[in-house]
Structure 1
Amino acid sequence: MNMNEPQLFAGDQNQLAVFTPIDSLLSAYRKDREDLERIASYVAGETRVMHYFMAGAQIENQISSISAASLFELAPAVRELDASYWSRAMSLTDVLDSMPAAKRNEWNEQIRGHKTPAFEPESVKATIGALLAQRSQFFAERVDGLFRALSGEHLTNAPEGFGKRMIIAHLRSHYDTLNYDRSNYIHDLRCVIAKFMGRDAPFANVTHDDLNSMYRNRQYGEWKCFDGGAFRVRLYMKGTAHLEVHPDIAYRLNQVLAWLHPMAIPNEFRTKPAKAPKDFTMVHDLVPFEVLSELARGRVDRTGKSISFFYNSIKPNHRTVQVLQYLGGVPGTMGNWSFDYEVQPVLDELTRTGRIPDQKTHQFYPTPECLASTAVDLADIADTDTVLEPSAGLGGLAEHLPKERTTCVEISNLHCKVLEAKGYITVCEDFLRWSPPMKFSKIVMNPPFSEGRDAAHVRHACSFLQEGGKLVAILPASRRNKTLVEGWNHEWSEVFDNRFEGTQVAVVILVLTR
């Protein structure tokens, strides 16, 4: 059990008791309350001289006039204290995050407006216990809350359930900022979808930040996918948002609505569609929200090409490090990661979609030790062989190759600097545009997989192979037993599952000869 969360036990069948963290919070509250009462009592007895403090502050600090009596009045201070401690109490559990948007907005408004009840032990324990017991009900209410938040002014919104285009109005406030209360409904949808997809829970402000990024970059009138294509949003300047949920998710949302309103949702809206639309794809292999949360806490510098975790005292976990490497980052000595492109747009898209953008990064996955050694063994490199490694990355394969006879080609300037520092012959070029002055007797490669680039890299590499040479490539398992290069001999290894840590990709090793 996570000791940072309250521990629960059943005192009897009708009451849920919360102990340890809440008791500690109540103790801290009592001390703060006593300090407030002591200060208020002291000031009340010294009003004759306290006005000098007020007048002096007004003149020296150029603040408006205020009296000691109003500044140190006990009742408003206690209400602020109560609100602050209620906020802290709610943060001890996931109950606030599990609430539907309407209830969450109501709680936040009570805290902001000093309208919370007194922070008394019986009230606190009873309230939090009751809210924790309602979490399964909250799940359904989150779906219902979004459906009820749809704009009544637009005929597009279908009353039968999710599945058609929906419209949410007033996503922008009167101050031309994102309306947090309205974006909460979209966040609710995201939380429910994460449950359906078996994904960890989205962190608190992720949806608000993603929508803000779309407004900041003026991405109006274009569909933007969220969470692997589970749903998509199109924003307009006036503050209206169009929203579409993937059919494979929509019918499950409608089943939840039907549980709340069994007579209101037609049966055809609760049935899984026979086939998915071609223009609305969805994937499930996504970066965990835990990793996205760590990345969001990093600070991008003024150049846009470095992320620092030093200032926030964060040491990224190994999965976050893998994503940073995959984005093409190189770690520094002060908790920072450097890139050779502006990384913030990529981070924005990664957080929103859960997927690393193919066109904007170098799609770098370090070659695992076991695959690297197997691939090099299959190449049968002799003492006289000259070797080429395209898309060398940070040298995962090159470390197993003869350094003085191996040429590394790499697109990332930062990675090239690392390779050069390791002593490799390095060419900093896009491999698909590179034409070498010589041919090689052996080529060993782990090309990028996305959008069919692996096949393009292999075919391009074949033109640089000497007669009687051999090419060895690590490829996606889907390529196995297919002809990539006409007129060449193809030998395939067994399938290697889950060798790239943090992904579910399966690979094979291809040996090509003429």
Structure 2
Amino acid sequence: MTSNAIIPLNTDQSCRHLMPAVKSEQDSLPEMREEMGIIQRLVAEFSKEREELQSVAELFRRQSVRKFYSLLSGYDHSITEKSELCAEYSLRSEYWKRVMALTDVLSVMTSEKRQAWNEQFCFDRYSMRDGSKQVIPDFTAEAVIPTVMGLLNDRNQFMRERVYGVFTSLSRSHKTNKAFGFSTRMIITGVCEMVKRFNGPSQPDFKSRNIEPLSELRVVCAFFRQSKVCDVLDTARLVERCVHQYGFRQWIDIDGYAVRFRVYKNGSMHIEINQTLAEQMNNILSAFVPLALPAERHKEKLKQAREFPLKKNVLDFDSRMQLGEMKFSYSEREKCWAAFRSGGYLSLDKGTDTILHDVFRTIGARVENYYVYMDYCPDEILRYLSQVGAMPDQVAHQLYQSSRKISDYVAGLLSMGEGDTLLEPSAGQGALLQSFSKAADIHCIEVDQLNALILKAKGFDVEEADFLAWSKANPGKKFSHIAINPPFSENRARLHLLAAATHLAPGGCMAAVLPLSFRHEDALLGDEFCWDLVHEFKNEFEDTSITVCVVYIQRIT
């Protein structure tokens, strides 16, 4: 294949600092040694299959073979030079698609560049029959390696073009949109229009094309997050679903809190991004538009920007789309909520399938054969995962769930009666409470939104808050019982225990699951409290090997 068979690309160097470029085959090693090996294997597979294809074509040229095959199939199968060429082009196209699937370049491309790629490398047999002169480049190492490396070098250029596309799509009639760059707030128009239904109220009709800038922002955000970049096909459906759920004029967080939006009935959409993303986009824009936001103004704006929650783990778009499409219903036979794993789910690549299994395990689901089972209605949890996609980091949140054995012990220790109240200050997903009566008056505090939604789905009364901040804001709230399994790292167990003790009513009791180092901390809470070490547990937490002690604390006065 000659060099003019490769898509010509405008490769301006001004954006190269965003990501290390692959300069040449020699420079790429050893960084791309594995990829080069895969490409060489694909080329070898292609050569072998082409030889087999040519052998079959030669066989079918024999009159007797065509006759017998026609008798077997009921059709007249004649092999012409054109059909043989179409077969080879189809084979070439298949292998070009396979090698491109090793990268995210097609997802990073603008729609125009992607269309150009498809026209050159994706074979259309029907257009060939209509006289098209499409020629699929040969699949050789000499053609594939320079093409792929050139595209990898130009992925930053493609992303820069997408950022500029977002900038040019912003409404120029709104002063919120700056003429010289991105701020943390932007406005697009024509997102929807109110349509009068027959004998009914007006309903919003959403315009997918005008919502495309939000889709582009989501792709850009994934690019900077260095997560899997893919086309976002469901943004219009997501917007429609969220507006139906929350209403107009309400801020709606998506994509790990990196982006949020609200829609107005006049069809305008206000979008807000975090300051870091705005600055990264302006760095790109400054190379594209001379009047882009100066660095000095970046610093000035930084002080005014609102803080966004930092979530370490954001699910990729494919996983979130699959979760959003799952439908659970209550099974009387199984006495739980169940969903069939559809064909789309079964056809997922191995990476996405592994991610979904981890998600199911995290939210307490059981996967058996073709079904997923839940002990609670997961509709709100799946809505959150498909919309926001933020999973609590296990280490940062110290999300190590108590076992049934520890819960049984704590429930028996506290022995709640009628009129008693219980506080769980670091509730997680309610593992420590699983052995308590469903009729008990239990109040949960949980900092993570996903875990708070799971607690609500399980029927608990929940406040979504950081317990230390909640304790400071609610010093007068007292409870007759407290069950606590606080985070252990960075001295948080001590801080949480001290704060929890202030909410224990006189005569009340608390059961605390603590690090073994607290065995001799009986003077920690002072003379108002009686402290008894009652039991030690070894290896009762999934994903960590640790010995803990359960302490029984009673407030005397």
Shorter-chain TM-score bucket reads: 0.5 to 0.7
- Mean Cα displacement is larger for which, 12-21 or 71-80? 12-21
- Alpha-carbon distance change, 170 to 211 in structure 1, aligned in 2, over 3 angstroms: closer
SS of residue paired to 2:465: helix
Q: Note the C-alpha offset of 1:89.
A: 0.7
Q: Note the C-alpha offset of 1:124.
A: 0.9
| Preserved CA contact (<8 Å) 2:230 2:317 | no
| Preserved CA contact (<8 Å) 1:40 1:74 | yes
- What is the count of residue pairs matched by the alignment? 428
Of 254, 257, 275, the residue aligned with 1:226 is: 254
- Alpha-carbon distance change, 121 to 459 in structure 1, aligned in 2, over 3 angstroms: same
Hey, what's the Cα distance between the residues in 1 that align with 2:158 and 2:172? 24
What per-residue deviation string (whole Å, max 9, x for no partner) do you get for residues 18-62 of structure 1?
63211111122122323333344444554996699499758xxxx
SS of residue paired to 1:119: coil
Hey, what's the Cα distance between the residues in 2 that align with 1:213 and 1:182? 10
Structure 2 residue aligned with 1:79: 89
Which amino acid is the alignment partner of residue 257 of structure 1? L
Structure 1 residue aligned with 2:456: none
What per-residue deviation string (whole Å, max 9, x for no partner) do you get for residues 123-170 of structure 1?
111101222233444454442343345578989754322224232779
Hey, what's the Cα distance between the residues in 2 that align with 1:266 and 1:19? 41
Hey, what's the Cα distance between the residues in 2 that align with 1:145 and 1:102? 12
Structure 1 residue aligned with 2:49: 32
- Alpha-carbon distance change, 29 to 204 in structure 1, aligned in 2, over 3 angstroms: same
- Alpha-carbon distance change, 93 to 431 in structure 1, aligned in 2, over 3 angstroms: same
Hey, what's the Cα distance between the residues in 2 that align with 1:35 and 1:162? 55
- 1:10-159 pair list within 5 angstroms: 12=26, 19-46=36-63, 53=70, 68=78, 73-100=83-110, 102-108=112-118, 110-112=120-122, 114=124, 116-148=136-168, 150=170, 158-159=178-179
Q: Note the C-alpha offset of 1:200.
A: 4.6
SS of residue paired to 2:390: coil
| Preserved CA contact (<8 Å) 1:200 1:289 | no
Q: Note the C-alpha offset of 1:223.
A: 4.3
Structure 2 residue aligned with 1:306: 338
Structure 1 residue aligned with 2:130: none
| Preserved CA contact (<8 Å) 1:458 1:473 | no
Q: Note the C-alpha offset of 1:255.
A: 2.2
Structure 2 residue aligned with 1:438: none
- Alpha-carbon distance change, 233 to 490 in structure 1, aligned in 2, over 3 angstroms: same
Structure 1 residue aligned with 2:5: none
Hey, what's the Cα distance between the residues in 2 that align with 1:253 and 1:337? 40
Q: Note the C-alpha offset of 1:287.
A: 2.8
Hey, what's the Cα distance between the residues in 2 that align with 1:9 and 1:433? 59
- Alpha-carbon distance change, 406 to 200 in structure 1, aligned in 2, over 3 angstroms: farther
Hey, what's the Cα distance between the residues in 2 that align with 1:298 and 1:312? 16
Hey, what's the Cα distance between the residues in 2 that align with 1:192 and 1:336? 35
Task: Structure 2: give runs of 5+ residues left out of the alignment.
Answer: 1-21, 125-133, 194-204, 331-336, 445-459, 518-540, 545-550
Confirm whether residue 451 of structure 1 aligns to residue 479 of structure 2: no
Which amino acid is the alignment partner of residue 289 of structure 1? L
| Preserved CA contact (<8 Å) 1:488 1:512 | yes
SS of residue paired to 1:30: helix
Q: Note the C-alpha offset of 1:475.
A: 5.1
SS of residue paired to 1:165: strand
Structure 2 residue aligned with 1:353: 388
Which amino acid is the alignment partner of residue 38 of structure 1? S
Which amino acid is the alignment partner of residue 251 of structure 1? E
- Alpha-carbon distance change, 34 to 147 in structure 1, aligned in 2, over 3 angstroms: farther
| Preserved CA contact (<8 Å) 1:194 1:202 | yes
- 1:473-488 pair list within 5 angstroms: 473-474=484-485, 477=492, 483-484=502-503
Hey, what's the Cα distance between the residues in 1 that align with 2:173 and 2:85? 44
- 1:77-476 pair list within 5 angstroms: 77-100=87-110, 102-108=112-118, 110-112=120-122, 114=124, 116-148=136-168, 150=170, 158-163=178-183, 164-167=185-188, 183=212, 186=214, 188-194=216-222, 196=224, 199-202=225-228, 204-205=230-231, 207-209=232-234, 211-215=236-240, 219=244, 221=248, 223-234=251-262, 243-265=271-293, 270-271=298-299, 273-276=301-304, 282-289=308-315, 293=319, 296=322, 300=326, 303=329, 305-306=337-338, 324=360, 327=363, 329-331=364-366, 334=369, 337-355=372-390, 366-367=400-401, 395=404, 397-401=406-410, 403=412, 406=415, 426-429=436-439, 431-432=441-442, 450-451=464-465, 462-463=479-480, 471=482, 473-474=484-485
Which amino acid is the alignment partner of residue 228 of structure 1? G
| Preserved CA contact (<8 Å) 1:252 1:270 | no
| Preserved CA contact (<8 Å) 2:108 2:229 | no
| Preserved CA contact (<8 Å) 2:190 2:210 | no
Hey, what's the Cα distance between the residues in 2 that align with 1:76 and 1:319? 39
Hey, what's the Cα distance between the residues in 2 that align with 1:247 and 1:203? 21
- Mean Cα displacement is larger for which, 344-353 or 250-259? 344-353
Task: Structure 1: give runs of 5+ residues left out of the alignment.
Answer: 1-7, 59-65, 358-362, 369-393, 435-445, 466-470, 503-508
- Alpha-carbon distance change, 165 to 78 in structure 1, aligned in 2, over 3 angstroms: same
- Mean Cα displacement is larger for which, 89-98 or 49-58? 49-58
Q: Provide TM-score, normalisation by structure 2.
A: 0.56
Q: Percent identity?
A: 21
| Preserved CA contact (<8 Å) 1:365 1:500 | no
Which amino acid is the alignment partner of residue 397 of structure 1? I
Structure 1 residue aligned with 2:526: none
Hey, what's the Cα distance between the residues in 2 that align with 1:248 and 1:101? 26
Which amino acid is the alignment partner of residue 34 of structure 1? E
| Preserved CA contact (<8 Å) 1:105 1:181 | no
